[in-house]
Structure 1
Amino acid sequence: MRLYREGSRSITWMQGAMLCVEGLRNPFLGELVSVETPEGTWRGEVVGLKDSSCKVHLFDGVSGLRSEVATVWLEGCLPGPLVSERLQGVQVNGFGEVDGQKSFLGEHLPLERPLPPLLSRKLPSRPFETGRGALDLFFPLFMGQVMGLGLSPGLPGEAFLPGLLKDLRIVDGIKPPLTVLAAIGRSRNEASRLISVLREDPDFGEALLVLSSETASASERCATIKTALTVAEYFAFSLERDVVLVALDMEAHEAARRERAEEQGQTPSGTEEAFARLSERCGCRVDTEGTLTFLPVFSCQGRGASPLMEATKSLMQGCWIWNSTGRGSFSLDLENSCSSLISRTGRNVTFTGHRLVADQLRASYLRRRAVRGSTQEDAFIARFDRVFLRARRRFSLARTESVAWRLLTKLPSEELVFLTEPLRRKVQMNKTSSRDDGLLF
């Protein structure tokens, strides 16, 4: 970082959001720049170097900028937020500023950071308890997992996500996870709704909101998720907190990324490459107890995953998809949702036979929904819907396990093809000793 600012008044040309400056000493790519005139200050970054000139991209364009009275200053640092524990419970813009200023002291961290070495990473091993039986049983979320969230049209993330995040619990944990929410390019109504929910609920007292409006520059909208990720990394891997990072939504980020590249006259990097540079900074590491769970939100246009979600699915460890069922109600898509980390469930993690029980119930439900046969089949579907897809109260993991075993007793023995012999015997024992419980069914 420079101890003093280098400046120049030699602007040779301006076009769109770009300008060319001569006479700056030793600028470097990505360096922050401020352009000062009597009318105000413009901010930007160095995006090109050639001989003694450098190309600068202004975040808000050159409209109103008079080159003859402008001074271009090098700030001596890369874009990035100042981070400290004081960020908890704070709302900042896409550049990590409060009211346009970095108004607290802290450590400056650049937005673009090297990916952690492969040998420093480890697989997630501790599950969350979401309070939703269908998620905990069929598509469990682990601390440090990258889990995509697909929301159907009409299901606003501002209304849906706070309820989901509020119910997240760390199994056998002392402190709840810290929520960092990146809201990208939101309208005024969406932003107001999100702020009111987060700030009026005491459960989100420590949550950090990184918010950019739909009228913000492409650079700020593009930086929003990177600012949130940089802050989340600091809390997870420097302060050893368990952090949940939510990006609302990835379509807005992708649009901003392409718009910014167009302003700079560049070709944007591929979608998968850009997503990988975000997701691979999350997870668990061998040298710290902190974890960083990443929940990127995608806007689906119909049933199933969105095109952007499909393009990045191989880089995630699962996805939850909610589809509209009409009349303003939504249900979890059991057919298209998945979690690759369900293989890490079982004894000493969740419960014995977790994956086999989940596979059996899910397969039986989907088959019966497709066939729609006898009254018995319809009764099983109704019970399944009631306890897993339409349950309105929070289920603990122990309660979810109990309900799953009870529901298995409603299946004929010859249908239990996914279960091992010891698990079948347990189902048979439950059949002979249990009665229908109105609270469950």
Structure 2
Amino acid sequence: MLNWEQVFASRSTRMRASEIRELLKLLDRPDIISFAGGIPDPALFPREAFEAAMADIFAGSDAQASLQYSVSEGYLPLREWLAGEMEKIGIACTVDNVFITSGSQQALDYLGKLMLSPGDTALVGWPTYLGALQAFNAYEPHYDQLIPAGNRTPESYREGATAKGGAVKFAYLSADFANPTGETIGREGREQVLALAEELDIAVIEDAAYQALRYDGEPVPPILALEIAAKGSIEQARTIYCGSFSKTLAPGLRVGFVVAATPVIAKLVLMKQAADLHSPSLNQMAIEHVATRHFEAQVDTIRNAYRSRRDAMLGALARHMPPGATWGTPQGGMFVWVTLPEGIDGAALLVRSIETERVAFVPGQAFFADRSGANTIRLSFSCADEAVIGEGIARLGRLVANALPLAA
């Protein structure tokens, strides 16, 4: 029998199972109240709109093209629509700056592959999106903590990367309602990220997966918009904007996109040609059909639903969590980040929770590049109604309270 471990590349040792993907299996168990999956509520998908879209595509002149190979850049009408939407949020661009991916996760994988050599350093949040760490890990980087304003100097980042045998290549962050913390970076913080990137001469990867899901407060311009305003053109920008239709229209169709300067797009197109040629034509056409006709109404629908669920979770946490537990108040997105009383381990708590209270969540340690943050957990409110949220948080609060003597 072949010893597969000696055949696998060294990078394979950095591949770990996603705690979140494993926890999603619990969604099929009716006795579990799940706050684990950061996924949209399927009951809110615009199913009838997609049924109409598919019927129109197959009844029209695009029927054959929808089943055929296509260009690697992506379906032109979808890219044209996206360019118009980017204009609305201050990102002036053309279709040549828009590239379609198979979900934004593919964009992160491509960008890691494009920029990271073994031993290079990526600057990320502490915590940060687990999927980004998984995408970048394959290219054998080191991680350093992205601190836009603080005691870190650009030179300290540069020296740290050099000591590890590489260079700093990019800063990765989600500026709006981040996964997992739900936090939003204000305008000043975004400008500080750009200033740091300028000093280090690195790229900025702006993950905007949740940008449309704002429930409170005034929108903050995307980092790419701020940079374009300062420099006059997207072609002068170092920021790479990654977006997705997974949180707004349909995750199952796996349609994401990248907006960036044309030299970046040109490289991504070459990578696409070598990987999967192009994202599925039919899926792109269906997304374009629904987006051009229903996007704003669909976003309004999910905003109203998720806002109510967020409020229910925040209210339940205030009623049921014992002293010593703290949490953020997200202005949008799908998550509430909870810091447990010192000494309570989120992973151990999850095991006890599944056994006794039948509530699932994600231990926060998964989101830290150094596996710290043991006393944190991520709660998602997107897939539970208000009554279920209230019951689930009551159970979780009881569990945390019972764990306090063990933590003392």
TM over 0.5: no
Whose Rg is larger? 1
Normalising by structure 2, we get a TM-score of 0.30
Normalising by structure 1, we get a TM-score of 0.29
- If asked which structure has higher relative contact order (CA below 8 Å, sep 6+), I would say 2
Which one has the bigger helix percentage?
2
Which one has the bigger strand percentage?
1
